[in-house]
Structure 1
Amino acid sequence: MFTIHDSKILAYQVDFENLHIEIKAVDEKGNKAKLLFEDFFAYHFEDQLPDSVLFDIIEGDINDFAEDHKELLEKSKDYGWPMDYRNAKVLTDHIKKNGYTYYIVEASYGLNGWILAKRMRTEEYSS
């Protein structure tokens, strides 16, 4: 059975047409899985490096989202990202109203960030 902790990211793909993010990973026992984020609204990744290692993916509190990413949101607001909005309350209300979950991607090494999506599921696979 696949475990996220200490799994190595093999690849990730963002499908803008279908609003789908897929992260392929392999855990310490060699189990492979696709971490699937469906119906995403926005995401932000940092430190994308080969051999990135996940620590965990946790659900954050939507009420903390705008404060957690205040600097990034302020810098990108004038460019309509992640949407056109007047203030943090409008953005937070939109996220809540549309049923998005705030997934925090924590790394031991490399790729980390967050995803706002309606669902996350894990699908094991073999090469």
Structure 2
Amino acid sequence: MHDSLLVGYSVDGERRTLSLRLRPHHGNAPGPFRIEFDGVFAHRFDAPLLPAIVSDLEEAPAAALIEDEWDDIQARERRNGWPGGAWKIGDLQAARAYVEREGLNAYWLSSSYGLDGWVLARSVRLVAEPP
């Protein structure tokens, strides 16, 4: 995945999925592939410049993401209701308990150029695409 080129992404709010489309760049991947997130609760990509050169996708406990991003999540929730759904949780302890109860994981996407961000979802998988 390292140094692959992220060329697009799509979100399906009804199915609660998010898909990242990547292609080889500098010969690191054998062919085009997708990163598929299922059970997506929320995501945030700052300055989504595409194509982006992916550095890594790291999984972490969802509670750690909630803790790191809490001030931003609260500000965005007050401003426009993001991330929506059952999120109306007033304090950090309740939010951490919620993501743990829902079985969510945090996925941090980093790039050396372009889009960075995170996804809160139940699972992730890599899917090879035909060349």
TM-score normalised by length of structure 1? 0.90
Tell me, yes or no, if the aligned pair for 1:7 and 1:54 is still in contact at 8 Å: yes
User: How far did 1:27 drift?
Assistant: 2.1
Higher mean C-alpha deviation, range 112-121 or range 66-75: 66-75
The correspondence of residues 20-35 of structure 1 with structure 2, limited to 5 A, is 20-28=17-25, 29=27, 31-35=31-35
The correspondence of residues 1-127 of structure 1 with structure 2, limited to 5 A, is 4-28=1-25, 29=27, 31-78=31-78, 79-82=80-83, 83-127=87-131
Tell me, yes or no, if the aligned pair for 2:63 and 2:99 is still in contact at 8 Å: no
Tell me, yes or no, if the aligned pair for 1:65 and 1:92 is still in contact at 8 Å: no
SS of residue paired to 2:39:
strand
User: How far did 1:74 drift?
Assistant: 2.1
How many Å separate the matches in 2 of 1:66 and 1:11?
26
Aligned length: 124
- Gap runs ≥5 in structure 1: none
Larger helix fraction of residues: 2
Tell me, yes or no, if the aligned pair for 2:58 and 2:108 is still in contact at 8 Å: yes
Q: Which 4+ runs in 1 deviate beyond 3 A?
A: none
1:89 maps to amino acid: Q
Q: Give a deviation string over 1:31-57, Cα, whole Å, max 9, x none.
A: 100100001001100121122111000
Q: Give a deviation string over 1:107-126, Cα, whole Å, max 9, x none.
A: 11111100001110000012
How many Å separate the matches in 1 of 2:76 and 2:50?
27
Identity within the alignment, %: 24
Tell me, yes or no, if the aligned pair for 1:54 and 1:106 is still in contact at 8 Å: yes
